[in-house]
Amino acid sequence: MDLIEFNLEAGIPTLDLRRYTEGDEADRKAFAAELGAAYRQVGFAAISGHGVSEDLIANMYKEVKDFFSLPTETKLKYSHPDKNNQRGFVKFGQEHAKGNDNADLKEFWQVGQTNIPDNADLSHYPPNEVCSEFPEFSKRSDELYKSLEEVGLVVLEAIAMHLELPLNYFRDKTEGGNSILRAIHYPPIKDEPKSAVRSAEHEDINLITLLIGASASGLEVMGLDGNWNKVTADSEHIVMNCGDMLQRLTNHQLKSTTHRVVNPPRELWHTPRFSIPFFCHPQPDMKLDALPQCVPSGESPKDPPITAGEYLNERLAEIGLKKEDK
């Protein structure tokens, strides 16, 4: 397969989603090929023309900043370790990267699916929290969730085209899935960090991640040479990356790339950072077994069979979010 070559040091590949949503068949195939090439080589891309309202994004960031300005004891009212920290507030220092004992320097708020499939196992779909101090926060969160879910479904359709799957392959399994919208606050750094960064190097759990803006720089992606490269994208772009579930499904042909959020220079320690990623998950019963066309003849898949729900539970335990089994 001929691939477009990308230079990560020059910034992640940038694509216009309108080529897929508004273009002719040749445009759609070209977009799918370029997105597939980006995910095969660097695991990251940025898209413009996604259609998510700039006003909605700006209003959501305002609500996020207002919420995190609340006292810690108020925010803890919305903490739910009994729901594996998948809804509401997650306190500072709770999450850590897989294989890293140092907690990340962040706190966050999580919103899940409201369009729950019929006959779904509701243990995977706990209700969302409503912040009584800022009622608009929940409304904005739900609006942004739905907008980003639809963008994710379109991107996954393009990936299906690239993989020569039926175009509805992912939509059938991901619409109404267990996706998460996460609003993250990296507070000002007051003391010398103990071997911790705002978010240590990690790979995402899900199929794809969509990141809308950020209030400060800091995101870095590991290149094939092992060096770290700063992610550069304009504010109107959504930064998208391939997650572990998609990597497993494609037998590691599409790359779940290691990334991190580094601390700012010491002179900027007093500044907070906010970001809002959307983690696109399928329905929990989706099988992540490697697609047959992605496994070379005579070889075995790189990963054992597992469902999305089983894999999520496994990873949540590894990063400190899942409630300990008794």
Q: Alpha helices of 83-134 — where are they, by DSSP H?
A: none
Let me know if residue 3 belongs to a domain.
no
Taking residues 14-38, what's their average pLDDT?
Answer: 96
Query: Would you call 133 helix, strand, or coil by DSSP?
Result: coil
pLDDT tens digit sequence for 57-67: 999 999 999 99
Q: What is the CATH number of the domain that holds 247?
A: 2.60.120.330
Let me know if residue 323 belongs to a domain.
no
Over the chain, what is the mean pLDDT?
90
**Helix, strand, coil % (nearest 5) of the chain?**
35, 20, 50
Let me know if residue 292 belongs to a domain.
yes
Can you give the pLDDT at residue 1? 39
Q: Using alpha carbons only, what angle is made at residue 15 by residues 61 and 263, rounded to the nearest 5 degrees?
A: 45
* Confidence band, pLDDT 50/70/90 cuts, at residue 216: low
Residue 266 neighbours by CB distance under 10 Å: 9
Taking residues 143-150, what's their average pLDDT?
Answer: 96
**Number of structural domains the chain divides into:** 1
pLDDT tens digit sequence for 239-291: 999 999 999 999 999 999 998 988 888 888 888 999 999 999 999 999 999 99
* Confidence band, pLDDT 50/70/90 cuts, at residue 196: low
Give the C-alpha separation, 53 to 190, whole Å.
35
Containing H/E element for 310?
helix 308-318
Q: Which domain holds residue 253?
A: 8-318
Angle of helix 54-68 relative to helix 135-162, nearest 10 degrees, comes to 130
Residue 112 neighbours by CB distance under 10 Å: 23
Is 211 a residue whose pLDDT tops 70?
A: yes
Let me know if residue 1 belongs to a domain.
no
Is 179 a residue whose pLDDT tops 60?
A: yes
Q: Which amino acid is at 149?
A: E
pTM above 0.85? Answer: yes
Let me know if residue 324 belongs to a domain.
no
**72: which 2 tokens?**
């810690």
* Confidence band, pLDDT 50/70/90 cuts, at residue 195: low
Looking at per-residue confidence, does 232 or 146 come out higher?
146
Q: Which of 103, 135, 126, 156 is nearest to 278 (CA)?
A: 156
Q: Which of 317, 322, 211 is nearest to 273 (CA)?
A: 211
Is 172 a residue whose pLDDT tops 50?
A: yes
pLDDT tens digit sequence for 82-101: 888 999 999 998 888 788 77
Enumerate helices (H) and strands (E) in the chain, giving the number of each.
Answer: 8, 12
Looking at per-residue confidence, does 198 or 158 come out higher?
158
Is 325 a residue whose pLDDT tops 70?
A: no
Can you give the pLDDT at residue 321? 85
Can you give the pLDDT at residue 233? 65
Query: Would you call 262 helix, strand, or coil by DSSP?
Result: coil
Taking residues 171-197, what's their average pLDDT?
Answer: 88
Residue that has been written with the tokens 């790979």 in this structure = 203
Let me know if residue 218 belongs to a domain.
yes
Burial class (CB in 10 A: 0-12, 13-18, 19+), 143: middle
